[in-house]
Structure 1
């Protein structure tokens, strides 16, 4: 009974609260990751995040009585989350950050609604009412304004590679959102998270050693601070939180809600890194935030009805 209760989705209000925390932590993490790359190679940094997540989540799950071997039904999704989100998404975006500004990277990596919305309607049968459709339109318009394909040099191969990696990361996460929402879970997010992180670490650690083993690492207090922010918060907590949210809220709502991450990330990047916050950027942010308000109101009306 305890495991069954733990695996049930959380209430809408609790899930929205978790989503808000994810937006703040992951949004601020884009300039943090950008700065961390001056001290540590990208894949090594991604691997370190997963190792720290493992070191936190296994003892936490054990101490709370949640640690257990996943059921056969959950194992496929455990592997998919580890491969597509934790290892794949993280490695793609941290590599792309070498070539693309942090604010722009956040925007491209969170174009998931472009892929989630049609999939959720066709595959999951989710309904889009007028208010949610308007929110979707505003959010995607904001992404389009912020994307601004005329704002970077298409003649540089590394720029094209970086932008392509970010779009691929968004597609992977969108596909995972749809799969998570359609799955009937046996275990709770806390009981499954240690195994997901362990698989991701088992992939990223040897990959980093092979690809970047000869590259130097500047062990210092700033790097320690960046890793501390990424291990307990951006990795252990946020991965647990976003999967919990994804299991509780409609896939379209979750994907649109995550648009708050690039909005906040763009603002923080402007403050922390001096990246320009232009009229185009502020206009795009306003559209995204307006879309989020409409989607939230639509879900509340539906819940009240």
Structure 2
């Protein structure tokens, strides 16, 4: 297997950028929704079962559109590896991280993804990081660091498990993003998303049901609404848009675009959960957003 050609200075796909914005916005909004849902349902069960239902829904849509669900010969191992990292690792890790962290904290800590992508994409994909993009990425990460400090993440033993789970989830997505580009999983986008969600979420759902033993009666109307959002938006819409963006954009560009997730997550957590949002938080959000815009243009 050879690395894909270097992206160079080819113009970015507007459609790819649009898909990226939809995915990042949907994922950012999901952080306060996940945090609220934890008050009614445990993390592995809620995220795992929503992912499984989302996978079934995408499979039905793919069949209705005439797309095949058949996995090409010789692709199962690659598909399983990418799905376990990109979906399974992220779904489980971020669900557990929210037990110890606020929604805004988890959103910020979880988006160290561009760092891992940049480190791996250069040797694996041959995607060199230009100096302007590296500087923009550094500025964006500095903005995220300011958000962490402004949000009051206390480096204490009490929050350490959540911090480690969030970083582990980001690392899994970073590796999975690069491998998705490297392996070139040749399947229709809806079918690919369905299989990745199924492979990544079925083990988590089974573990959640067996260990956490969730009760449907514990869900309120808002709890059901949260489950529906996670199923239809976070898993179905956002992942289809993410895979579509990866088809049209360099891995590093797509990962930098996900820096919009903590911006949306922090603002949504402040509005929906009344989590504190200071003037320094707002300034850091502006810096992060501006750096993302610069990085996407270089």
Given the two structures, how large is their TM-score scaled by the length of structure 2? 0.90
Correspondence for 1:301:
none
Q: Distance in 2 between matches of 1:87 and 1:217?
A: 26
Q: 1:178-216: CA deviations, max 9, x gaps?
A: 111212332122122222222234202220122101678
Q: Distance in 2 between matches of 1:242 and 1:120?
A: 17
Within-5 A mapping of 1:152-301: 152-157=153-158, 159-213=159-213, 218-298=218-298
Q: Distance in 2 between matches of 1:129 and 1:199?
A: 35
- How big is the alpha-carbon RMSD for the aligned residues of Structure 1 and Structure 2? 1.9
Q: CA offset at residue 297 of structure 1?
A: 1.7
Within-5 A mapping of 1:109-124: 109-124=110-125
Range with bigger deviation, 238-247 or 24-33: 238-247
Is the 1:87–1:200 Cα contact (8 Å) retained in structure 2?
yes
Q: CA offset at residue 134 of structure 1?
A: 2.7
Is the 2:68–2:191 Cα contact (8 Å) retained in structure 1?
yes
Correspondence for 2:89:
88
Is the 1:40–1:217 Cα contact (8 Å) retained in structure 2?
no
Residue 265 to residue 149, structure 1, CA distance change in 2 (3 Å): closer
Q: 1:74-133: CA deviations, max 9, x gaps?
A: 323321233122222111101111110101100111111121112222322213334322
Residue 240 to residue 77, structure 1, CA distance change in 2 (3 Å): farther
Within-5 A mapping of 1:32-47: 32-47=33-48
Is the 2:105–2:151 Cα contact (8 Å) retained in structure 1?
no
Is the 1:44–1:208 Cα contact (8 Å) retained in structure 2?
yes
Residue 146 to residue 73, structure 1, CA distance change in 2 (3 Å): farther
Q: CA offset at residue 73 of structure 1?
A: 4.1
Correspondence for 1:97:
98
**Gap runs ≥5 in structure 2:** 1-11
Q: Distance in 2 between matches of 1:149 and 1:170?
A: 21
Q: Distance in 2 between matches of 1:18 and 1:62?
A: 22
Given the two structures, how large is their TM-score scaled by the length of structure 1? 0.88
**Gap runs ≥5 in structure 1:** 1-10, 299-305
Q: Distance in 2 between matches of 1:78 and 1:50?
A: 17
Q: Give the match's secondary structure for 1:227.
A: helix
Correspondence for 2:72:
71
Range with bigger deviation, 271-280 or 183-192: 183-192
Q: Distance in 1 between matches of 2:282 and 2:217?
A: 36
Q: Distance in 2 between matches of 1:150 and 1:199?
A: 35
Q: Distance in 2 between matches of 1:143 and 1:80?
A: 29
Q: 1:37-65: CA deviations, max 9, x gaps?
A: 11111111012211221231111010011
